[in-house]
Amino acid sequence: MEDLPVYHGPIGMEEGERRLAQDGRDGGYLVRDSDSVAGVYCLCVLYNGFVYTYRLHKDAAGSWAAEVRLFR
């Protein structure tokens, strides 16, 4: 994950939202480290002025999966 250009590291929720809002494009996204769960990433997507956050983790098969629960 760290090799992807959309990965921003341990920037925190507020900084991630600020960066997406600064860009301002619907569909803009970034990946950051989770603030609350070690070893988990967050996919943050800007849509209609809101940032939607999905936790990403590796499943039993070793593939990346997104949590069904939505954080906003």
Domains of the chain are 13-66 (3.30.505.10)
Q: Could you tell me if 16 and 43 are in contact, meaning their C-beta atoms sit under 8 angstroms apart? A: no
Q: Is the pLDDT assigned to residue 20 strictly greater than 70?
A: yes
Per DSSP, the three-state class of 65 is strand
Q: Is the pLDDT assigned to residue 41 strictly greater than 80?
A: yes
Q: Mean pLDDT over residues 28-34, rounded?
A: 97
Q: The whole model's pTM is what?
A: 0.87
Instruction: In whole angstroms, give the CA distance from residue 58 to residue 63.
Output: 5
Q: Is the pLDDT assigned to residue 24 strictly greater than 70?
A: yes
